[in-house]
Amino acid sequence: MPTCRELRFTGSVQGVGFRWTAKRLADRLGLEGWVRNNRDGSVTLAASGREQSILELVAGLDAEFGPYIAGVESRDAGPEGLSGSFDILR
């Protein structure tokens, strides 16, 4: 059964390629979901798939953007809004 997580990244995570990198990593890991910028400067990401793949996605984002990430909030989420692919929302 797939795991669904919603993560909110804070810090200087907009304007640095965060969403495009998240999509590239999620596609490579076979995850579905979405990523979007928020008005407060944070980025929210929803991912569904193997729990290990979601952990690898977060690790990859941390490896790429660690200095830009001030914090990460994570919560269980449902499959609402998932399209079968990983999308960048505007």
78 by Cβ neighbours in 10 Å (0-12 / 13-18 / 19+) ranks as exposed
Assess whether 38 carries a catalytic annotation. Answer: no
- Distance from CA of residue 59 to its chain's centroid? 11
User: Would residue 75 show up in a list of annotated catalytic residues for this protein?
Assistant: no
Return d(Cα 60, Cα 66) in angstroms, integer. Answer: 9
Catalytic residue among 8, 24, 36, 37: 37
Which sequence positions are flagged as catalytic?
19, 37
